[in-house]
Amino acid sequence: LLIPLWSYPFLYKLFGGGVAFSNYGAAFLGLLFLTLLFSAIGIFISSLSESQTVSAIATIGILLLLWMLENTTPMIDQKMGTVVMKFSIQKYFRPFTSGLVSTEAILFFLLTTALFLFLGCRSLEKRFFRNPL
């Protein structure tokens, strides 16, 4: 789904617009990492439930919560705000949209993606060994 996005800067450049390909590449990389993380969270939530509807609603709710964490920091105290900001997806995605690629953001996305994929595998293993074929 992300591959057609690469045609936009070339079409824009073809019709006379100026495109900073480095900024576009960084934003695309961030979008790729965001997609990987969202997919991993969805797989994990889906492994916890038998119902597709429950899994979809829970995944959307959790992703929305994680996306909006940064907006909740003004409503809570300073110490809790710093802890909440460590889990904010927007905090790590925003530098990519500015054309910056930070090691901290890459590590956050890769490690949390790996964590949720690991948890999803463990959940499926637990379910399989409880009710083997």
At 30-86, the pLDDT tens digits run 999 999 999 999 999 999 998 999 999 999 999 998 888 877 766 777 777 777 778
Query: Over 70: is that where the pLDDT of 133 sits?
Result: no
- Mean of the per-residue pLDDT values of the chain: 87
Query: Amino acid identity of 25?
Result: G
How is residue 75 written in tokens? 């409503």
- pTM score: 0.83
Question: Of 130 and 126, which is predicted with more confidence?
Answer: 126
- Considering only CA atoms, which of 91, 54, 52, 45 is closest in space to residue 70? 91
CA 10/CA 115 separation, integer angstroms? 36
> pLDDT tens, 74-102?
677 777 777 777 888 988 999 998 889 99
CA 73/CA 92 separation, integer angstroms? 15
Beta strands in the chain (DSSP E): none
